[in-house]
């Protein structure tokens, strides 16, 4: 059986941004997160909240700026169904996703 030791305070990872606010408001941490959020509907549609813009767009590849990383969606017949300040919806046949830091 493996034994785990508790890390000293100075070696512990920093809490996720927004987690203290979420705790104070008594809501889930994801509700006030400053990180981008993706919700998939199978491999046919993805909704992205918190994106910073579209970097590249054609029917086989869509690259999205997500702040500290870039998400690349590969597939067939990809298009941007909806794009506003809060969210972005990509639809089509998504075959793979790549994250670049």
**Three-state SS sequence of the chain:** CCCCCCCCHHHCCCCCCCHHHHHHHCCCHHHHCCCCEEEEECCCEEEEECCCEEEEECCCEEEEECCCCEEEEEEEEEEEEEECCCEEEEEEEEEEEEEEC
Q: Is residue 17 part of a domain?
A: no
The mean-pLDDT minimum among 18-22, 32-36, 68-72 falls in 18-22
Determine the pLDDT at residue 98: 95
CATH code, domain carrying 51:
2.60.40.2000
Determine the pLDDT at residue 78: 97
Q: Is residue 89 part of a domain?
A: yes
Residue range 22-45, pLDDT digits in tens = 677 666 665 555 678 899 999 999
Number of domains in the chain: 1
Q: Is residue 46 part of a domain?
A: yes
For residue 98, the enclosing domain spans 36-101
Residue range 52-63, pLDDT digits in tens = 889 999 999 999
Q: Is residue 75 part of a domain?
A: yes
């Amino acid at each position: 059986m493996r034994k785990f030791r508790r890390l000293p305070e100075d070696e512990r990872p920093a809490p996720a941004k927004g987690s203290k606010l979420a705790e104070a408001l008594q809501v889930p941490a994801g509700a006030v997160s400053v990180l981008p959020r993706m919700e998939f509907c199978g491999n046919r549609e993805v909704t992205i909240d918190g994106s910073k813009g579209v970097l590249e767009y054609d029917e086989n590849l869509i690259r999205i700026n997500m702040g500290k990383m870039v998400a690349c969606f590969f597939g067939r017949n990809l298009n941007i169904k909806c794009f506003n300040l809060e969210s972005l919806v990509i639809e089509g046949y998504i075959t793979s996703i790549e994250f670049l830091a």
